[in-house]
Structure 1
Amino acid sequence: MPALTRGTNAKPLPQPAPAHARPGAVLSQYERHGAWVVVARGAYDMDSIAPLAQALDAGVRRHPKVILDASGITFADSTLLNLLILTHQAGALRVVAPPPQLKRLCEITGVDSILQTRDSVDDAAFS
């Protein structure tokens, strides 16, 4: 799995071993107003995070802004939280419509103060 880094001289951070998405963890991707949108559906933990990590990594390497549509995430743990932080550090990330469980996870860890969340993909693309 590619490592998230911000520049060519940055050392890659350790990545989990490759894993296959769990049934129900589904991704789709598209471009919207110059930003790359990754739509995540299902549960994300250490066993299912690899495809999402690869999509976000590719997005920040190729596009000025990456938007994660999190509205369909049904479960998230610290693995997803770590991925969001790494992606934020590597490039411009917007998180759209995080579900209550993910919002709460971000609030209790203080990550909500660094992540930019928006209500819609269009809001995120234009911000």
Structure 2
Amino acid sequence: MPPTPPPARVHSYEENGTFVVAASGEFDLDEQEQLLAALGEADRRNLPATAVDLSGVTFADSSLLNALLHAWRRHRTSGRRLILAGPLHPTVTQLLTVTGTLEHFEIAETLSEALA
């Protein structure tokens, strides 16, 4: 029997003038609301940048991509940066690559790099 995947978790905080959304675990439609809520909080805070730490995400489907694309649009419209921080799991990289959306996002190798 395969091991049970870790539950999806999202928490957010402010660091160095950047709003950080840290996600971990497996993300599909059932977990989308957690991420949407945190990204909504980023919009309410209206800081110059939001870093989405995806280094702990082990699986993502179109629901995570949809949340990120909506956040990207809102950030771009309001003149703010949205940075995806890794290292990205191969399944996340594949999702962004196959859908042709990787080039739309600012990617940082690590959260530290995103906050620099």
With structure 2 as the length reference, what TM-score do the two structures score? 0.83
| Aligned residue pair count | 105
With structure 1 as the length reference, what TM-score do the two structures score? 0.77
Structure 1 segments (4+ residues) deviating >2 Å: none
Q: Structure 1 vs Structure 2: percent identity of aligned residues? A: 34
1:72-114: CA deviations, max 9, x gaps?
Answer: 1111001111111110011121001121101111011110010
User: Structure 1 residue 60: deviation in Å?
Assistant: 2.5
RMSD: 1.6
User: Structure 1 residue 40: deviation in Å?
Assistant: 0.4
Q: Which residue of 1 aligns with 2:35?
A: 52
Unaligned runs of 5+ in 1: 1-22
Q: Which residue of 1 aligns with 2:115?
A: 125
**Separation (CA, whole Å) in 2 of partners of 1:119 and 1:60:** 24
Which structure 2 residues correspond to residues 66-105 of structure 1 after superposition, within 5 A? 66-91=50-75, 92-97=81-86, 98-105=88-95
Q: Does 1:34 align with 2:24?
A: no
Give 3-state SS (helix, strand or coil) of 2:29's partner: coil
Unaligned runs of 5+ in 2: 1-5, 76-80
Give 3-state SS (helix, strand or coil) of 1:75's partner: strand
